[in-house]
């Protein structure tokens, strides 16, 4: 039971980590890597912004390694929570919102539509200042009404 609570708790906590990282790191001192993501058209298949996938994957891989070495201890379940959040982030951000893969083009789900609206508001600013909606899975209620 405690393993499941760690897994779910870490998954939920990752939304806070994402918000803080997006606002203060991606729109801060690592803007160079994130800036191409705010351009209207992608020139290549990959963006400099994709480096953040690697940055988040490395600690997760290490947590899996040490969690398994420790006999599937709490580190393993932390890694599971981080990894599930990463998979959800990929599906929501890269697939649903930015359509890097054309898998979910015509959704009628109110939550997913609100996610798209909130992210569109985030991308209306091409620079690193004046951003809003830095999270990924939590959507402010005003976007359900728009």
Three-state DSSP state, 63: helix
Phi, psi angles (nearest 5°) of residue 111:
-65, -45
pLDDT at res. 75: 97
- Please tell me the predicted confidence (pLDDT) of residue 13: 97
> Length of the chain in residues, anyone?
146
Its pTM stands at: 0.87
**Distance, CA of 49 to CA of 36 (rounded, Å):** 7
Show me where the domains of the chain are located. Answer: 1-38+45-105
Dist CA 116 CA 71 (whole Å): 41
pLDDT of residue 46: 83
Which residues, 6+ apart, have CB-to-CB distance to 68 below 8 Å? 76
Residues whose CB is less than 8 angstroms from the CB of residue 18 and which lie 6 or more positions away in sequence, other chains included: 85, 89, 134, 135, 136
Tens-place pLDDT, residues 92-125? 888 888 887 777 777 888 998 898 889 888 888 7
Give the whole-angstrom CA distance, residue 12 versus residue 137. 9
pLDDT of 20: 95
Please identify every stretch of the chain with a pLDDT value under 70, giving residue numbers as ranges: 42-43, 146
Q: Enumerate residues 6+ apart whose C-beta is below 8 A from 73.
A: 67
What's the mean pLDDT when you consider all of the chain? Answer: 89
pLDDT, residue 55, reads 92
């Amino acid at each position: 039971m405690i393993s499941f609570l760690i897994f779910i708790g870490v998954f939920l906590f990752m939304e806070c980590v994402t918000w803080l990282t997006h606002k203060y790191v991606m729109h801060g001192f690592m803007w160079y890597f994130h800036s191409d993501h705010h351009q209207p058209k992608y020139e290549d298949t990959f963006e400099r912004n994709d480096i953040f996938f690697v940055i988040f994957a490395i600690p997760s891989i290490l947590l899996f390694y040490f969690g398994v070495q420790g006999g599937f201890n709490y580190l393993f379940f932390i890694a599971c929570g981080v990894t599930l959040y990463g998979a959800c982030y990929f599906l929501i951000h890269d697939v649903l919102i930015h359509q890097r893969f054309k898998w979910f083009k015509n959704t009628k789900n109110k939550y997913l539509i609100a996610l798209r609206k909130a992210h569109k508001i985030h991308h209306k600013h091409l620079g690193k200042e004046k951003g809003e909606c830095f999270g990924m899975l939590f959507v402010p209620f005003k976007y359900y009404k728009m």
